[in-house]
């Protein structure tokens, strides 16, 4: 930080470099950006990703609520976190009754919920936090449009099916077939929406950036 | 069978004769908007960028607006990384701190042309539907892929038709209209669907249409779009886009809609979205007696010159009531300059408003007006989610600029029609 008078500050703003008011050049100074190597802070490996399974089995958490928005899923106070590994601990901590979800959930668990899951912001973290926790699948009656694309493009499996109408409860085990849209539950088979060809293709390759 | 706006645009842009709802098409968007989150997006693809570069340098539009000027070392570093990216890859359309909120900047810099496709890693990218643009929010993964590939996929949406008639009563605004629609159909009422506005759209100014289109996402819409008329063409001309620069599209009269809604603007009343969802909309009277500690006038929904003038007209001769902080953020530098030249900023400031720089400000809870536990904010923004303004134990109510200004004078929730 350098301290100067208002007149020197104003002259320097115009000059593009430190300058006295009587010394402002005709055109401002332009400096080539000093570019460190490496464009970003992180880079994913470009090695081939093992193909993902099209059937997912796991223990369910039944979140019986519609319109869960992206601030409930991943609150804006954590938006500066950039490491996906750190995001999981904050998952659903702004959703009443689910504040301790991250502590209770285990890798491979499946989240089952209602309509318009992921409404609101386009924030990627609202998908990444589930990936960070190792959640295997989210099944909702419907998803917020951007959230749905977000998950599809990330290669994170989400599926549309109405499971809240069944007697499904926390701790039950289900198996979802992403290709057929069928979900085997203790209450019987429920027909959901199968992955589209594009969605399956992106998912199998581990995300749009791997296609 | 006729075609909807979305069907026509996506057919043209994917090079097909005809597309139908549900179909997935590959398109090359005219622009990709990213903001402060550009840092995270390029962070995903550092190695690929070094190897392949940016696919189409004229496509990205980058605007720093979310936390500007930077509020922390982290946000400052993000901004710095973005500037270096812009320099290295020769990104032409870059707008640094202070230019304004990205959505306002995209339009006033002439990037939003009718029947073009603009995608953006911000959910309120749907705003440009006001100018007949197919514009929609996407995610960061997709934005990263677009930088590298220059193309993406879109699902052709079904369409809801909204038929407008009549004119607003004095004191009632486009914000009340769009909140009313969201309250009626719900936060998922138009999920992954297009919403077309028909009928007496001439009753809505371009600013009004931007307010309505901006909140399309709050009903789940993929796009919320208006036809191009004389008002649109005049606006575009004013931002340097002439009629020969675009080839507008609009729905056929016999297009197929999954739902038709009708609204008489004369019957719309001032409304309020109560916490904590945007579709929790009730008549203003149900909030009688509500006291607010903070009022927010601005954001990409209601930070334009007309909003500032409406508020100044109401505040003239009054002072902001004791115990209330009225924060004002013009949506862009251009609007700020116009408001300065017209004396609007002076009128607002004299009444006791705090004038903040053009940008997103406190809307997303990062800085410049974070709420304390137990506080209540009345805002012209588009979201009132729990914790949206930084504090989970605070409440946010949404309303029009007129309602916010009337409340600033009265000290409790106030109906602008009664002034």
3-state SS of B218-285 is HHCCCEEECCCCHHHHHHHHHCCCCHHHCCCCCCCCCECCCEEEEEEHHHCCCEEECCCCCCCEEEHH
Residue B220 sits in the same domain as residue B290: no
- Count of domains observed in chain B: 2
Contact flag B47-A43 (C-beta cutoff 8 Å): yes
Same domain, B258 and B275: no
- Assigned domain for B176 exists: yes
Q: Range with the lowest mean pLDDT among A70-84, B219-233, B367-381?
A: A70-84
pLDDT above 90 covers what percent of chain B?
Answer: 99
Same domain assignment for residues B139 and B13: yes
Q: And the tokens for A180?
A: 């057929």
Q: In the Cβ-directed half-sphere of B151, how many Cα atoms lie within 13 Å?
A: 8
Q: Which residue of B has its CA nearest to A141?
A: B188
**A22 and A92 in one domain?**
no
Rounded Cα distance between A83 and B180, Å, is: 40
pLDDT over 60 at B275, yes or no: yes
Answer whether residue A118 is part of any domain: yes
- Is the pLDDT at B335 greater than 70, yes or no? yes
Residues of A in contact with B33 (CB under 8 A): none
CA distance B45 to chain A (A): 6
Contact B66, B105 (CB under 8 A): no
SS3 content of chain B, % helix, strand, coil (to 5): 40, 20, 40
A119 in a structural domain: yes
pLDDT at A36 over 60: no
Residues of chain A found within 8 Å of residue B40, distances taken between Cβ atoms: 82, 124
Same domain membership, residue B213 and residue B73: yes
CA B315 to CA B120: how far, in whole Å? 36
- Among residues B264, B284, B314, which one ends one of the domains? B264
**From B152, which residue of chain A is nearest by alpha-carbon distance?**
A208
Domain shared by B283 and B382, yes or no: yes
Q: Assign B326 a pLDDT band (cuts: 50, 70, 90).
A: very high
A48 found inside a domain: no
Q: What is the spatial distance between Cα B196 and Cα A196, in angstroms, rounded to a whole number?
A: 27
Q: Are residues A74 and A29 in the same domain?
A: no
Give the range of the structural domain holding residue A146, as residue numbers without chain letter.
Answer: 55-210
A43 in a domain, yes or no?
A: no
Q: Is the residue at B83 inside a domain?
A: yes
Q: Which of B3-12, B41-50, B169-178 has the lowest mean pLDDT?
A: B41-50
For chain B, percent of residues with pLDDT exceeding 70:
100
Q: Are residues A10 and A99 in the same domain?
A: no
Averaged pLDDT of chain B: 97
| pLDDT tier, A80 (very low <50, low <70, confident <90, very high otherwise) | confident
Task: Give the model confidence (pLDDT) of A163-186 as tens digits.
Answer: 999 999 999 999 999 999 999 999
Shared domain for B88 and B234, answered yes or no, is yes
Q: Residue range B387-406: average pLDDT?
A: 96
Quote the pLDDT of residue A32.
Answer: 60
B2, part of any domain: no
Residue A46 lies in a domain: no
Decide: A112 and A169 in contact? Cβ < 8 Å.
no
Crossing angle of helices A145-154 and A125-133, in 10° steps, is 50
Position B4 in a domain = no
What's the total number of domains in chain A?
A: 2
CATH of the domain at B236: 3.30.499.10
pLDDT band for position B111 (cuts 50, 70, 90): very high
pLDDT tens digits for range B72-90: 999 999 999 999 999 999 9
Q: How much is the pLDDT for A49?
A: 56
**Residues A194 and A138 grouped into a single domain:** yes
pLDDT category at B130 given cuts 50, 70, 90 is: very high
What residue in A sits closest to B47 (Cα-Cα)?
Answer: A43
> Within this chain, do residues B101 and B134 fall inside the same structural domain, yes or no?
yes
Lowest mean pLDDT among A109-118, A199-208, B243-252, B336-345: A199-208
Nearest CB partner across the interface for A116, out of B84, B187, B365: B187
CA-CA distance, B278 to B223, in Å (whole number)? 18
Boundary residue ending a domain (B213, B233, B264): B264
Backbone angles phi, psi at B283, to 5 degrees: -60, 150
Strand B60-63, strand B93-95: pairing:
parallel
Which positions in chain A touch B142 (Cβ < 8 Å)? 149-150, 153, 208
**pLDDT in the model for residue B299:** 98
* B1 occurs within a structural domain: no
Residue A119 Cα, gap to closest chain B Cα (Å) = 7
Q: How many CB atoms are closer than 10 A to CB B30?
A: 21
How far does the CA of residue A157 sit from the closest CA of chain B (Å)?
15
B130 and B57 together in one domain: yes
Structural contact between residues B362 and B389, judged by C-beta atoms closer than 8 angstroms: yes
Domain assignment of residue A29, yes or no: yes
Interface of A with B in 8-27 (CB under 8 A): none
Q: What is the pLDDT of residues B195-229, one digit of tens each?
A: 999 999 999 999 999 999 999 999 999 999 999 99
Q: Is the pLDDT reported for residue B132 higher than 50? A: yes
Residues B158 and B180 in one domain: yes
Pairwise pLDDT comparison (A46 vs B392), residue with the higher score: B392
**Other residues' Cβ atoms within 10 Å of the Cβ of residue A143:** 27
Residues B39 and B143 in one domain: yes
Distance CA B319, CA B309 (A): 16
Report whether pLDDT(A31) > 80. no
Q: What distance in Å separates residue A139's CA from the closest CA in chain B?
A: 17
Is B55 inside a domain boundary?
A: yes
Residue B240 and residue B377 in one domain? no
Domain that holds residue B386: 271-418
Say if residue A93 is in the same domain as residue A170. Answer: yes
Residue of A nearest to B216 (CA): A120
The answer to the question of residue B3 being in a domain is no
Q: How many Cβ atoms sit within 10 Å of the Cβ of residue A187? A: 14
Predicted local distance difference test score (pLDDT) of residue B272:
98
Q: What is the mean pLDDT of chain A?
A: 89
Does residue A210 surpass a pLDDT of 50?
Answer: yes
- Which of A26-30, A44-48, A117-121, B229-233 is the least confident region? A44-48
Domain boundary among B233, B264, B295: B264
Q: Which CATH number goes with the domain that contains A178?
A: 3.20.19.10
Q: DSSP for B24-85, please give it.
A: EEEE--SEEEE-TTHHHHHHHBHHHHHHH--S-TTSEEEE--TT-S--SHHHHHHHHHHHHH
- B46, B138, B277: residue with CB nearest A67: B277
- In three-state secondary structure terms, B298 is strand
The answer to whether residue A154 sits within a structural domain is yes
Are A84 and A37 in contact by the 8 Å Cβ rule? The answer is: no
Sequence-separated (6 or more) residues with CB below 8 Å from residue B215: B178, B179, B182, B224, B278, B301, B382
Question: Within this chain, do residues B161 and B234 fall inside the same structural domain, yes or no?
Answer: yes
Residue A50 inside a domain? The answer is no
Q: Are B139 and A124 in contact (CB under 8 A)?
A: yes
Judgement on whether residues A23 and A103 belong to the same structural domain of the protein: no
The angle that helices B206-214 and B174-185 make with each other, rounded to 10 degrees, is 30
Average pLDDT of the residues in B173-184: 98
* Same-domain pairing of A27 and A63: no
The burial class, CB within 10 Å (0-12 / 13-18 / 19+), for B149 is middle
């Amino acid at each position: 930080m350098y301290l100067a008078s208002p007149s020197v500050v104003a002259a320097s703003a115009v000059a593009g470099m430190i300058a006295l008011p009587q010394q402002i050049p005709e055109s401002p100074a332009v400096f080539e950006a000093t570019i460190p190597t490496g464009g970003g802070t992180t880079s994913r490996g470009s090695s081939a990703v093992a193909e993902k399974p099209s059937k997912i089995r796991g223990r369910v958490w039944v979140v019986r609520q519609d319109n869960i928005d992206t601030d409930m899923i991943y609150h804006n106070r954590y938006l500066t976190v950039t490491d996906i590994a750190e995001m999981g601990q904050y998952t659903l901590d702004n959703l009443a009754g689910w504040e301790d979800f991250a502590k209770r959930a285990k890798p491979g668990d499946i989240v089952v919920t209602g309509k318009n899951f992921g409404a609101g912001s386009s924030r990627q973290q609202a998908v990444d936090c589930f990936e960070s926790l190792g959640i295997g699948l989210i099944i909702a009656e419907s998803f917020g449009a951007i959230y749905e694309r977000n998950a599809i493009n990330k290669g994170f499996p989400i599926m549309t099916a109405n499971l809240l109408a069944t007697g499904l409860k926390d701790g039950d085990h289900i198996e979802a077939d992403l290709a057929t849209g069928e979900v085997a539950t203790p209450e019987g088979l429920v027909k959901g929406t199968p992955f589209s060809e594009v969605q399956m293709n992106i998912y199998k390759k581990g995300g749009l950036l791997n296609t | 069978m006729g075609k909807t706006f979305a069907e026509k645009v996506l057919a043209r842009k994917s090079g097909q004769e005809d597309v139908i709802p549900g179909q997935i098409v590959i398109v090359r968007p005219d622009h990709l908007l990213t903001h402060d989150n550009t840092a995270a997006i390029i962070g995903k693809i550092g190695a690929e960028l070094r190897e392949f570069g940016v696919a189409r340098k004229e496509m990205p539009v980058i605007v720093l607006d979310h936390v500007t000027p930077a509020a922390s070392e982290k946000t400052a570093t993000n901004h710095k990384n973005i500037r270096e990216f812009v320099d290295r890859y020769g990104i032409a359309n870059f707008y640094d701190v202070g230019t304004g909120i990205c959505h306002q900047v995209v339009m006033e810099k002439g990037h939003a042309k009718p029947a073009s496709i603009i995608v953006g890693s911000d959910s309120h990218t749907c705003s440009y539907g006001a100018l007949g643009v197919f514009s929609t929010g996407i995610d960061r993964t997709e934005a990263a892929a677009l930088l590298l590939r220059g193309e993406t996929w879109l699902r052709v949406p079904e369409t809801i038709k909204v038929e407008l008639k009549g004119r607003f009563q004095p004191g009632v605004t486009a914000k009340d209209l769009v909140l009313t629609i969201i309250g009626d159909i719900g936060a998922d009422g138009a999920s992954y669907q297009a919403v077309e506005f028909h009928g007496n759209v001439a009753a809505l100014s371009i600013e009004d249409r931007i307010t309505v289109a901006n909140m399309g996402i709050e009903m789940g819409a993929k796009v919320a779009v208006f036809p191009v008329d004389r008002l649109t063409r005049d606006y575009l001309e004013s931002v340097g886009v002439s009629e020969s620069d675009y080839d507008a599209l609009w729905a056929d009269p016999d297009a197929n809609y999954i739902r038709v809604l009708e609204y008489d603007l004369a019957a719309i009343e001032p409304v309020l979205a109560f916490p904590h969802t945007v579709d929790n909309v009730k008549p203003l009277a149900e909030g009688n007696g509500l006291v607010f500690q903070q009022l927010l006038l601005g954001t990409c929904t209601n930070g334009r010159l007309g909003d500032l003038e409406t508020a100044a007209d109401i505040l003239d001769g009054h002072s902001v009531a004791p115990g209330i902080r009225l924060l004002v953020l013009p949506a862009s530098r251009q609007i700020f300059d116009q408001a300065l030249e017209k004396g609007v900023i002076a009128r607002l400031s004299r009444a006791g408003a705090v004038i903040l720089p053009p940008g997103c400000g406190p809307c997303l809870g990062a800085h410049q007006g974070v709420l304390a536990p137990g506080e209540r904010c009345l805002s012209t923004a588009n979201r009132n989610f729990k914790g949206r303004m930084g504090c989970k134990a605070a409440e946010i109510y949404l309303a029009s600029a007129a309602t916010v200004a009337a409340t600033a004078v009265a000290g409790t929730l106030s109906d602008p029609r009664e002034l």
